[in-house]
Amino acid sequence: MRSRAGPRSKAAPAGSPVGSWEHFPHGADVGVRGRGPSEAVAFEQVALAMIAITTNPMAIRPTDCVRVTCTAPDDELLLADWLNAILYEMATHRMVFGRFNVAIDGRVLHAELWGEPFDRARHEVGTEVKGATLTALLVGQGRDGQWTAQCVVDV
């Protein structure tokens, strides 16, 4: 995994095309799934699904930006790398992120993570995510053209 955080910046981003996210059941852990009209949007949405385990993404102000880059040998490992890169940035910057701008070119992902420092007074306190696993790992496009990105994350 190659993941690099760029400088934090303050400008607010434009909105992304519409997608959706959800959780799916897994015994001890949590399944996260994102859907959208493109692979990039599906990746943005599954990231929101993962954030929602930890805190309400709607309550996060997109004031600061962290940039990451991931490279992987296939789409599915790229998804795992993407989610794990977010977790790393959250842990090391002590931030939560509520908006993602993702661009995917082949097996290379560039993204902006927009959020703010975690504040227990304002942000709902959920559960820490330890890492994205390879369980139920899937990236694909359905017949309806919608992309799905999913995996189980360890809590």
Partner 1 sequence: MGMDSTRLARTGDTEWLIAPVGAMRVPAVIFADKALIDDMDDKVLEQICNVATLPGIVGAAYVMPDAHWGYGFPIGGVAAFDADAGGIVSAGGVGFDVSCGVRLVRTGLPAAAIMARQAELARALFDAIPAGLGSEGSIRLDDDQMDAMLTGGAAWAVGNGWGDPAELAYVEEQGRMAGADPGAVSLHAKTRQRREMGTLGSGNHYLEVQKVAELDDPTVAAAYGLAIGDAVISIHCGSRGLGHQIGTEYLREMAIEAARFGIALPDRELACAPIQSALGQRYLGAMCAAVNCALANRQIIDHLTRRVFRALFPDARLSLLYDVSHNTCKIEEHEVDGIQRRLHVHRKGATRAFGPGHPTLPEAFRPVGQPVLIGGSMGTGSYVLAGGGAASEHAFASACHGAGRRMSRHQAQRRWRGRKVIDSLAAEGVVVRSTSMRGIAEEAPGAYKDVSAVVDAAHRAGLARKVARLLPLVCIKG
Residue 105, amino acid: D
Angle subtended at Cα 96 by Cα 83 and Cα 99, rounded to the nearest 5 degrees:
70
4 binds partner 1 per the rule CB under 8 A: no
* H or E segment to which residue 104 belongs: strand 95-105
Candidates 33-41, 74-82, 104-112, 138-146: pick the segment binding partner 1 (CB under 8 A): 74-82
40 binds partner 1 per the rule CB under 8 A: no
Question: Do 86 and 47 meet the contact criterion of CB atoms below 8 Å apart?
Answer: yes
152 binds partner 1 per the rule CB under 8 A: yes
Q: Which is nearer to partner 1, 9 or 92 (CB)?
A: 92
Residue 137: half-sphere exposure toward Cβ, Cα within 13 Å: 17
Q: Which residues bind partner 1 (CB under 8 A)?
A: 1, 23-30, 54-55, 73, 76-77, 80-81, 84, 87-88, 91-92, 94, 118, 120, 124-128, 130-135, 137, 152, 154-155
